[in-house]
Amino acid sequence: MISRYYLEAFERFYETFVAIFSSSYILFYLFLAVLSYLAIKKHLNAKYFIHDDLLVKSNNMIGVSVIAPAYNEGATIVSNVKSLLSLTYPNFEVIIVNDGSIDDTLEKLIREFQLVQVDFYYKEKIKTRKVRGHYKSTNPIYAKLLVVDKENGKSKADASNAGINSAKHPLFLCTDVDCILKKDTIIKLAKPFMESKRKVIATGAGIRISNSCEVKDGFLVKVHFPTNWYARFQELEYVRAFLFGRMAWSQINGLLLVSGGLGMFDKEVAIAAGGYWHKSLGEDMELITRMRKHMYDTKQQFSIKYIPESLCWTEVPANAEVLIRQRSRWARGLVQTLYIHRTMFFNPKYGKTAFLILPYFFSFEFMVPILELLGVFSLLIGFYILDIDYIFLFYVSLFVYLFYLILTLVSIFLDEILYRNYANLKEILILTGMAFIEPFAYHPVNIYASLKGYWQFFRQKEQKWGDMPRLGFNSQNKKENETT
């Protein structure tokens, strides 16, 4: 009897808590939707502001170093580097950091680009594992290329830091070597640094999925809708995250995350903030948090901007195993960043980062998987021990489901009217259909991965590079990928 009394009390408390939590979650998302709409409108309205053809010709553009760490990328490294070298910008260099690959990545680079080791004056502004050497091409065609060879640091962060230390330009663009960037990516990301009155410390843009795209020698030939189920769900996720989340945060200068796959940074600020933290599993989010902290500490006004355009295509996990591994790593990164920067929470010195952004990430990003798990337990207890008002449960569940659906479908609609990324109506209908089943078929996998990540964080399991088997883009591999 007593245990039943306590269970009922717990259920009542949990119901009230979830009701308040869900209401605030929904209200917050509505707020984000409005902000996102305003941000996208602002961007589109300003499209006649500056024309890139002029900027491409100018000798006075701020220099940009494109940094791409590579670990065992021998299969695709040559075409990927050629793709990066072909970007359109008047003043840039490409820095490939070979992070102690155990395959033939470095040998292929040396052979293909006619590299020789050079006496590079290297200063370790950010501490990294030992840099073994720098390589430059003897062929003037590849004069923009610099290869940094270093010992493996077990993290992308360590490799990126070696790239930052070797960069000669004041801005750097961090990407993954297998990412395919649009030709005008550098211009699009660098423009806010030159337009804005307030000091811009970082910029980012939309990322799309390349799994089914036609790619030749590192260049995107044709964009195709993913045929693999996991990739399709991620397409849905990316559309929602970039159009709804990031644009909204950008509108109120509240971005805490610029993707590791594509982000441009002010080098001076990044170095002053200490660069990427090599032990972090969410190094992109962690760096932005630290850069924000640095700007507040030094009392400088700043902004972080997001561009609502897809500039980068990346391969995403095509099966549950790899997806869970990737998402666990992201979840560990999230909890790690929140834990490390816990002193910033509600500290007046850090303004909206302290009172809005970090609390949001804690409450709505970190807590949701835990609350969902508790919800499952609560339901099980209710089913077996207590009396449940099934009608009420049905209506509440339906409301939450419909709210989520509206959010996702509005994202698809916005994406469609703004960019027309999809080839035909069939693809839109498939994506819409995916939205209906996502909460049952895909969301639980994500929740499981997040909880696993939290568990690994609290157990302090050792980190390593996020290995994702690259299936490449040749047709044979692609077919295998899609049927996985």
Partner 1 sequence: MIFLIVVILVTISDRIVYEYSKQYRSTIRQKITAFLTELLFTDAEDYQNRIRDFKKQIPYSSPWCKSMVTGCIIELKQNIKGEVTAPILDIYKSFGLQHFSEKLINSRRWYIKCKGIYHFQVLEYEEGEGLVKKYMNHKNRILRSNAFIAFISLTSKKLDFLSDYPYEISLIDELKVMDLLYHKKFPIPKNIKDWITAQNPSIVKLGIRFMVYYNYTVEKDTLLALLASDNKMIRKEVIIALQELFLFEAEPLLIDMFTSEEIENKIAILQTLAVIGSSESIAFIDDYLHRSVNPATKLEAVRTLDTLDPSYLKSNFKEDFEIIKIKKHVKNPYL
Stretch that binds partner 1, among 10-18, 73-81, 228-236, 418-426 (CB under 8 A): 418-426
Stretch that binds partner 1, among 11-19, 121-129, 296-304, 307-315 (CB under 8 A): 121-129
Closest Cα partner for 306 from 258, 378, 240?
A: 258
Distance CA 177, CA 189 (A): 18
Whether the Cβ atoms of residue 260 and residue 312 lie closer than 8 Å to each other: no
Tell me which of 16, 24, 86, 138 binds partner 1, using CB under 8 A.
Answer: 138
Both tokens of 389, joined, read: 């008002």
CB atoms under 10 Å from CB of 100, counted, come to: 21
Tell me which of 58, 460, 475, 476 binds partner 1, using CB under 8 A.
Answer: 58
Residues 399, 402, 407: CA angle, nearest 5 degrees = 125
Nearer to partner 1, 339 or 413 (CB): 413
Tell me which of 2, 299, 417, 483 binds partner 1, using CB under 8 A.
Answer: 417
Read off the amino acid at residue 154. Answer: K
Between strands 64-70 and 200-209, the pairing is unpaired
Question: What DSSP designation does 461 have?
Answer: P
Nearer to partner 1, 169 or 443 (CB): 169
Nearer to partner 1, 189 or 344 (CB): 189
Does 289 engage in binding with partner 1 (CB under 8 A)?
no
Tell me which of 5, 121, 384, 440 binds partner 1, using CB under 8 A.
Answer: 121
Does 299 engage in binding with partner 1 (CB under 8 A)?
no
Per-residue contact string for residues 152-191; x = within reach of partner 1 by CB under 8 A: ---------------------------------------x
Distance CA 345, CA 312 (A): 33
CB atoms under 10 Å from CB of 293, counted, come to: 20
C-alpha torsion 84→61→174→189, nearest 10: -100
Stretch that binds partner 1, among 38-46, 63-71, 100-108, 216-224 (CB under 8 A): 38-46
Does 420 engage in binding with partner 1 (CB under 8 A)?
yes
Stretch that binds partner 1, among 76-84, 339-347, 409-417, 455-463 (CB under 8 A): 409-417
Tell me which of 409, 418, 430, 451 binds partner 1, using CB under 8 A.
Answer: 409
Site for partner 1 in 430-449 (CB under 8 A): 432
Distance CA 25, CA 44 (A): 28
Nearer to partner 1, 161 or 378 (CB): 161
Question: What is the sign of the dihedral through the CA atoms of 126, 270, 60 and 299?
Answer: negative
Nearer to partner 1, 113 or 366 (CB): 113
In order, the DSSP letters of 80-96 are HHHHHHT---SSEEEEE
Question: What is the sign of the dihedral through the CA atoms of 386, 439, 409 and 30?
Answer: positive
Q: Reduced to 3 states, what is the DSSP secondary structure of residue 215?
A: strand
Distance CA 460, CA 151 (A): 24
Distance CA 270, CA 275 (A): 5
Site for partner 1 in 369-408 (CB under 8 A): 402, 405-406
Closest Cα partner for 321 from 230, 239, 253?
A: 230
Closest approach, Cβ 146 to partner 1, in A, equals: 9
Whether the Cβ atoms of residue 446 and residue 365 lie closer than 8 Å to each other: no
Tell me which of 1, 102, 299, 424 binds partner 1, using CB under 8 A.
Answer: 424
Does 480 engage in binding with partner 1 (CB under 8 A)?
no
Tell me which of 1, 3, 5, 49 binds partner 1, using CB under 8 A.
Answer: 49
Distance CA 348, CA 456 (A): 32
Nearer to partner 1, 34 or 385 (CB): 34
Tell me which of 54, 299, 391, 483 binds partner 1, using CB under 8 A.
Answer: 54
Per rule CB under 8 A, count of chain residues that contact partner 1: 45
Which residues are paired to 175 by β-bridges? 262
Closest approach, Cβ 406 to partner 1, in A, equals: 6
H-type alpha helices, 309-389? 320-340, 351-352, 358-360, 367-384
Closest approach, Cβ 409 to partner 1, in A, equals: 5
Closest approach, Cβ 121 to partner 1, in A, equals: 4
C-alpha pair distances (Å), 20 with each of 26, 394, 400, 447: 10, 18, 13, 21
Closest approach, Cβ 65 to partner 1, in A, equals: 14
Site for partner 1 in 185-224 (CB under 8 A): 191, 194-197
Does 413 engage in binding with partner 1 (CB under 8 A)?
yes
Which residues of the shown chain bind partner 1 in the complex (CB under 8 A)? 44-46, 48-50, 53-55, 57-58, 60-62, 116, 118-121, 123, 125, 136-138, 143, 191, 194-197, 402, 405-406, 409-410, 412-413, 416-417, 420, 424-425, 428-429, 432
